[in-house]
Amino acid sequence: MKSILGMPAFRPMLAETAGEPFDDSSWLFEVKWDGYRCLLYLCRSGAGGDAYLLSRNGKNLGRYFPELLGLWKHLKGNSAVIDGEIVALARGRPDFGALRRHEGVLCYIAFDILHLDGSNFTPAPLSERRRRLASALDFSGNLVLSEGVAGRGRDLFEIAKERDLEGIMAKFLESPYLPGERSRYWLKIRNGKEKWFTVLGYRKASGSRVGSIIVGESMQDELVVRGAVSSGLGKEEEQRLLKLLRPVKAPLSVQEFRASREPGRGPREDTPYGKAVRERTYADVTWVVPDVRVLVSFTEMTPDGKLRHPVLRQIEGNRRAG
């Protein structure tokens, strides 16, 4: 895809992760919006206009969010490419679950501008791009400008924590826009939660024997899958896990794990837990004895009980499940 609505096809700039919030007058701090990252292409043509919503993965999101295709009416000039997120607001805050269910108040939150009336602004500093963004569009209704504060990252992060938001973004005010690149010019600082989970299995990946681990927790004497964790899993962690994990033919329930530790007892393959994980999603998993725990940070638990943005923080040795 070389062009969209007569404008260059861009890829969104990506952020690195920072562990802690900070204060610095040369940085802009914004709320980290919990939605779908999306480039918004707008153009006017005669008395009409058009809009195109391009996802981070290059998909056309307009067919899923047709109510946003009228955003071209907010354009003051002839054409623009905007960076932002599609967000659903529920109970006064972004709600990713509501967005997936297509509930709440749907809006597009804009935080950058790449192209305006035939001019490419990606080489310009963020401070200039933000000024042009503010004046290029009529922000009203379901088009919202992401407000930022310069220098006061710690204060904004405390507000994000108080309101249970996903976190904040830190952006260097003199940075260019680097399409498709992950850069330290932009940093995401998540309002994370931490919890211990049991390792239930692992997947291989290209160049590594442990590309991700499947984690879960005991719920009413049943081990429930909470998702896969790959972030934070380096070579050192991989080697330690390989020493600790003991593969089994089928996943174990808590009762079966306890029974397997008794002489003459072993796991059966027809348990409710075993049936639950014999889905296509887990067909390539090597299941293990659930006696290794890991500390995982995450932003939230989804409505279907899976971890969002999980990161491996710590590995604990073998222990009893439950």
Q: Hey, which residues are catalytic here?
A: 32
- How many angstroms separate the first and last alpha carbons of the chain? 51
Q: Hey, which residues does 115 pair with through a beta bridge? A: 81, 120
Residues belonging to the chain:
322
CA–CA gap between residue 315 and residue 306 (Å, rounded): 20
Residue 281 and residue 231: Cα distance in Å, rounded?
Answer: 19
71: left (phi over 0), alpha (psi -120 to 50) or beta: alpha
For the purposes of burial, counting CB atoms within 10 Å of the CB of 56, is it exposed (0-12), middle (13-18) or buried (19 or more)?
middle
Name the token pair of 158.
């405390």
Cα–Cα distance measured from residue 289 to residue 227, given in angstroms and rounded to the nearest whole number? 17
Spell out the residues 6+ positions from residue 238 whose beta carbon is closer than 8 angstroms to its own: 208, 209, 210
Q: Report the candidate in 174, 184, 115, 167 with the shortest Cα–Cα distance to residue 150.
A: 174
* Residues in CB range of 154: below 8 A, 6 or more apart: 21, 22, 23
Contact residues for 127 (Cβ-Cβ < 8 A; gap 6+): 28, 173, 174
Q: How far apart are CA 178 and CA 146, in angstroms?
A: 19
